[in-house]
Amino acid sequence: MLQVNVIREQRDKIIEGLLKRGLTAIDEKIDQVLSLDVQRKEMQRKQDDLLAESNILAKEIGNLMKSGNKDEAEKLKNRTAELKKQTAELGPSLNTIEEELQKLLYAIPNVPAEKVPSGKTAEDNITVHTFGTPQTLAEDAVPHWDLIKKYDIIDFELGIKIAGAGFPVYKGKGAKLQRALINFFLDEAEKQGYREIQPPIVVNEASGYGTGQLPDKEGQMYHATADNLYLIPTAEVPITNLYRDVMVNENDLPIKNVGYTPCFRREAGSWGAHVRGLNRLHQFDKVEIVQIRKPEESYEALDEMCLYVQSLLEKLELPYRKLLLCGGDMGVNSAITFDMEVYAAAQKRWLEVSSVSNFETYQANRLKLRYKNKEGKTQLLHTLNGSALALPRIVAAILENNQTKDGIMVPKVLVPYTRFDIIN
Could you tell me which residues are annotated as the binding site for ATP?
A: 265-267, 352-355
Residue 137 has what DSSP assignment?
A: P
DSSP E strands: which ranges in 20-142?
Answer: 126-131
Q: Which residues are annotated as a binding site for L-serine?
A: 234, 265, 288, 385
Beta strands 370-372 and 378-380: pairing type?
antiparallel
DSSP letters for 341-410 = EEEETTTTEEEEEEEEEE-TTHHHHHHT-EEE-TTS-EEEPEEEEEEEEEHHHHHHHHHHHTB-SS-EEP
Task: Give the Cα separation of 417 and 188 in Å (integer).
Answer: 13
Give the angle subtended at the CA of 96 by the CAs of 90 and 97, to the nearest 5°.
90
Nearest CA-CA partner of 121 in 217, 22, 26, 219: 22
Judge whether 415 and 421 are in contact, CB under 8 Å.
yes
Q: Which residues are annotated as a binding site?
A: 234, 265-267, 288, 352-355, 385
Half-sphere exposure of 35 (CA within 13 A, CB side): 8
